[in-house]
Amino acid sequence: MSTFENFGLHQNIIKAVHELGFESPTPIQSETIPHLMSSQQDIIATAQTGTGKTAAFGLPAIHLANPDNKNTQTLVLCPTRELCVQITRDLISYSKYLKGVNILAVYGGERIDSQIRALKKGAQIVVGTPGRTRDLINRKKLFVENIERVVLDEADEMLTMGFKQELDAILENTPKEKQTLLFSATMSPKIVSITRKFMKNSVEIAVARKNIGAENIKHVNYMVNAKDRYEVLKRIADLNPNIYGIVFCRTRRETKEIANKLMHDGYNADAIHGDLSQPQRDEVMGKFRRRSLQVLVATDVAARGLDVNDITHIINYSLPDDPEVYVHRSGRTGRAGKSGISIAIIHTRDMRKLREIERISGISFSKELAPSGRDICEKRLYALIDKIEKVEVNEEQIGPFLDNIYEKLNSFDRETLIKHFVSAEFNRYLSYYKNARDINISGGKNKRDSREPRERKTRSERQKSKFATIFINVGSRNKLTPNRLMGLINEAMDSKDAVIGSIDIMKKFSFFEIEDNRKNDVIKALNKETFEDVSLSVEISKEMPNKAPSKKEDFFTGRKKRKGGRDQKFRGKKGQKGKGGKNKRKNRSN
């Protein structure tokens, strides 16, 4: 079995890696690290997120970095700013015991001057998104003419997102003799064409996808208003009287609050969080392990080290920021061949996080309706009847009391007797849920997969409901394409799930639609960017150019026209439609 020690990595790197809890290398690391430590040959690796590929290229890149030379030696290119920040964070943690190795993230949507200042100080490893990296190269602030290696991480995503031209331009600037490492989840023909153009005599490595989301776990999300999250939690517990689960909260305060409410409402629950002393924690853990506690409300940190089998439910009262944490939480159920359910109680704003979890882990959430009062009453009632049917009757023990009981109930016929029994046991639920509201929100009416495409609306409906039209001062003459525009938007924003509507690429400028609630973010972010050496100017436009503008209005913004205003040649000319431009789309594929 390979070990990190066998690879010949610097002791201080091994120390950092062990501190992170990496005991042995993952398959991609076992294949890649020894190769990079001893050979200049290019690598094409089919590997997905979750396989440990960051350390696979990162550890050798750090080991091989020359701390006495401040020039950039390794360039890592990746599709999104989140990934860029994540890779940089990982590399910094691997190198924390090494002096003089600087790692820098450069990505769009942030001020370029602070990145330029950081570059001036020198960074042996630069991790960048394609647009910003190219921009910095063009401005002669980032020098890649002498780099030793380039890593193309999630190469398929970079191409899907329209960064082909940026990649070509960046790679053209790099030396011929460098080592190129390409990581991609898939090997599409487009990837193959990149490998043909920029790589030679490569070693091919393929590793199987790490099974991070266990297959016997069902992942469900309920979408409700934030104020109804506790109500959903109660309904889950009421629907599942034999629940043995963990409710994950974000903060100690939330943990305490939820556990207190549950206890107050009569549930068998308790909390575990950082404010408890060790003996108190042990006591709660002990109760939970012995199953004398059914619901444990916990923070991620406090639940660490809790190793219990047979957990039926993991409930994400709040979703974590890090998708890996979700995978870790949900992995506490569905163990030892048992099935389990992991529920995310979410609000519409959490959709981004949910998508990110799906993307990173390969998990697929099914969007379901939070249980209704009727669902709960029905299930509990039938469970009670089932119990009555199956209960073991101990004649000897109850025998002495029966005569009196028969006599008391003598006047009841069969139906009345059943009604009385059931009501005695069940009135609490029936009255609590009698007028229970439907707490599901938007899109929750249909039981459908969360990734199913939504109903298509016409452009005017979309504009009326939730799309804003944005003007941008670059067009086909600046080599803008719908794909590149999507890449630009994605790179500039701190998320990649904004829904983009129609795109109209004109000669000197373009329009695109974006969800109304993201318009300010996109304008702010894009106004900091340049594209093909043009400083972007982005603003809200009144509507897409599919109608002739009124004579008095500026075609772009709907404002009154100024003399000597913008080019008017296009007036009335129908915008060139982007590929599939009328469909709502996301600025990257799932």
CB of 386 to ligand AMP, least distance (A): 44
Q: What is the closest distance, in whole angstroms, from the C-beta atom of residue 184 to ligand AMP in the complex?
A: 13
Q: How many residues are there in the chain?
A: 590
Cβ distance to ligand AMP smaller for residue 16 or 232: 16
For residues 86 and 107, what is the distance between their CA atoms, to the nearest angstrom? 12
> Is residue 54 at the binding interface for ligand AMP, with CB under 6 A as the rule?
yes
Q: Which of 42, 52, 340, 462 binds ligand AMP (CB under 6 A)?
A: 52
Give the residue, chosen from 13, 14, 26, 167, that forms a contact with ligand AMP under the rule CB under 6 A.
26
Give the long-range contacts of residues 8-14, CB within 8 A, separation 24 or more. 8/37, 9/33, 9/37, 9/59, 9/60, 9/63, 10/62, 10/63, 10/98, 12/97, 12/98, 13/59, 13/62, 13/63, 13/94, 13/95, 13/97, 13/98
Pick the closer one to ligand AMP by CB: 60 or 578: 60
Alpha-carbon Rg for the chain, nearest whole angstrom, is 30
Interface with ligand AMP: number of residues (CB under 6 A): 12
Amino acid letter for position 204: E
For position 213 contacting ligand AMP by CB under 6 A, the verdict is no
Smallest separation, CB 88 to ligand AMP (Å): 12
In angstroms, the CA 246 to CA 242 distance is: 13
**Residue with smaller CB distance to ligand AMP, 22 or 426:** 22
Give dist(CA 325, CA 341) in Å, integer: 16
Residue 51 touching ligand AMP (CB under 6 A): yes
- Secondary structure letter of residue 324 according to DSSP: H
For ligand AMP, give the closer residue by CB, 16 or 167. Answer: 16
Take residue 468 and report the two structure tokens written for it: 């804003």
Query: Minimum CB separation from ligand AMP for residue 73, in Å?
Result: 20
Closest CA to 52 of 96, 2, 11, 102: 2
Cβ atoms of 545 and 575 within 8 Å: the answer is yes
Report the alpha-carbon distance of residue 543 to residue 540 in Å, rounded.
Answer: 9
Residues 28-47 that bind ligand AMP (CB under 6 A): 29
- Give min distance, CB of 429 to ligand AMP, in A: 43
Would you state the structure tokens that stand for residue 421, as one six-digit string? 């029994």
What track of x and - describes contact with ligand AMP for positions 279 through 318 (by CB under 6 A)? ----------------------------------------
CB of 147 to ligand AMP, least distance (A): 21
Residue 366, beta-bridge partner list:
220, 449
Tokens of 373: 């009062």
Q: Does 357 bind ligand AMP (CB under 6 A)?
A: no
When the beta carbons of 86 and 502 are compared against ligand AMP, the nearer one is 86
Instruction: Report the half-sphere exposure of 58 (CA within 13 A, side-chain side).
Output: 27
Shortest Å, Cβ 23 to ligand AMP: 6
Nearer to ligand AMP, 154 or 491 (CB): 154
Nearer to ligand AMP, 18 or 579 (CB): 18
Closest approach of Cβ 209 to ligand AMP, in Å? Answer: 10
Q: How many CA atoms lie within 13 A of 222 on its CB side?
A: 26
Name the residue nearer to ligand AMP (CB basis): 26 or 502.
Answer: 26
In the complex, least distance from residue 49 CB atom to ligand AMP, rounded to whole angstroms: 5
183 versus 467: smaller Cβ distance to ligand AMP? 183
Q: Do β-strands 499-505 and 510-515 pair in parallel, antiparallel, or remain unpaired?
A: antiparallel
What's the start-to-end Cα distance of the chain, in Å?
35
Task: Specify the residue, 29 or 195, whose C-beta has the smaller distance to ligand AMP.
Answer: 29
Cα 328 to Cα 56, 250, 307, distances in angstroms:
22, 14, 12
Which of 54, 587 has the CB closer to ligand AMP? Answer: 54
Number of Cβ atoms within 10 Å of the Cβ of 159: 21
How many Cα atoms sit within 13 Å of 95 on the Cβ side?
26
Please report whether residue 82 would count as binding ligand AMP according to CB under 6 A: no
Find the shortest distance in angstroms from Cβ 497 to ligand AMP. 19
Shortest Å, Cβ 148 to ligand AMP: 21
Sole binder of ligand AMP in the list 53, 219, 353, 496 (CB under 6 A): 53
Whole-number minimum distance, CB 38 to ligand AMP, in Å? Answer: 20
Contact between 359 and ligand AMP per CB under 6 A: no
Say which residues have a Cβ less than 8 Å from residue 9's Cβ, sequence separation at least 6: 17, 33, 37, 59, 60, 63
CA angle 132, 138, 140 (to 5 degrees): 105
Phi first, then psi, for residue 271 (nearest 5°) are -115, 155
Identify which range of 24-32, 197-205, 497-505, 551-559 contacts ligand AMP by CB under 6 A.
24-32
Between 2 and 476, name the residue whose CB sits nearer to ligand AMP.
Answer: 2
22 binds ligand AMP (CB under 6 A): yes
Q: List all residues 6 or more positions away from 409 whose beta carbon is below 8 Å from its beta carbon.
A: 417
By CB under 6 A, name the one of 13, 14, 25, 134 that touches ligand AMP.
25
* Closer of 29 and 473 to ligand AMP (Cβ): 29
Region near ligand AMP per CB under 6 A, out of 50-58, 131-139, 213-221, 296-304: 50-58
Supply the minimum distance, in Å, between the C-beta of residue 130 and ligand AMP: 19
Q: Considering only 20-28, 196-204, 468-476, 504-512, which stretch makes contact with ligand AMP by CB under 6 A? A: 20-28
Report how far residue 248's alpha carbon sits from residue 342's, in angstroms, rounded to the nearest whole number.
Answer: 11
CB of 54: closest distance to ligand AMP in angstroms? 3
Stretch that binds ligand AMP, among 53-61, 66-74, 142-150, 452-460 (CB under 6 A): 53-61
Give the integer Cα–Cα distance in Å for 469 and 473: 13
Rounded to a whole number of angstroms, the minimum distance from the CB of residue 48 to ligand AMP is: 7
Please, are residues 340 and 217 in contact by the beta-carbon 8 Å criterion? yes
The residues of the shown chain that bind ligand AMP, judged by CB under 6 A, are 22, 25-26, 29, 49-55, 324
